[in-house]
Structure 1
Amino acid sequence: MRVILNVIWLIFGGLYLALGYLLAALICFILIVTIPFGFASLRIASYALWPFGRTIVDKPGTRPGALIGNIIWILLCGIWLAIGHLVSAVAMAITIIGIPLALANLKLIPVSLMPLGKEIVPVDSARTPA
């Protein structure tokens, strides 16, 4: 079932959202100082291409730089990517078949706003918080 949902996702919006993340990564790589954001954006682009069967968890340990980095990310790219997910979720929720895809879009909004300090893992190996 995950493969079917991922293929439908890819055809009806996942490719465009992943291209948005690739554009954000390109912008971050050009600005040199924001290269870590570029790598985070590339990770999320792969997640945006094939989201079913994977989930987002917090990386273990404290990351004081992640908060500052996430604030900068929100200002540079995060808000626009989150708006893209929201618009795509509304468009996909129009049909019954699109409802799971809309929920996947909504699941991507938090990581599109604050990607640093997060990890994308398979659902089967997701850690439970201690």
Structure 2
Amino acid sequence: MEITKKERDCIVKIKELSGSFPPRLSDLAVGLNIKPPTAIELLERLERKGLIKKEHGMIILTDNGNNEYSKIMLAHRTYETLLSMSGVSTEDACLQAEKIDYLMEPESMRHVLKSLGSPEKCPHGKPIPKE
């Protein structure tokens, strides 16, 4: 499934904000630094794609949304690790990975990961998803 950069950022922010309680529209708008009407439009697109559902004002990633998040994190953390191992600062590697992680295919990322020695964590110490 193809998603846009804004949709990618929204999926990641929903996951980041989902602690003990799922985020609400206002939380997401503040977290993404966008106005609520823009957040509503973004959420409607994600809902049409089957990546989120809204329940009682809360925003929840669906199974497809969680799978998309895992694919993004696989690509992000793999590319971030590659750049970091190549001498790019951890912060810059993260910023660069953010620009393209949603475009990368998981199969390609698994090959890159294997060529890097199959690290289990990114430079920030976060686990690299297996799928």
Higher relative contact order (CA 8 A, sep 6+): 1
What TM-score, normalized by structure 2, do the two folds share? 0.31
TM-score between the two structures when normalised by the length of structure 1: 0.32
Larger Rg: 2
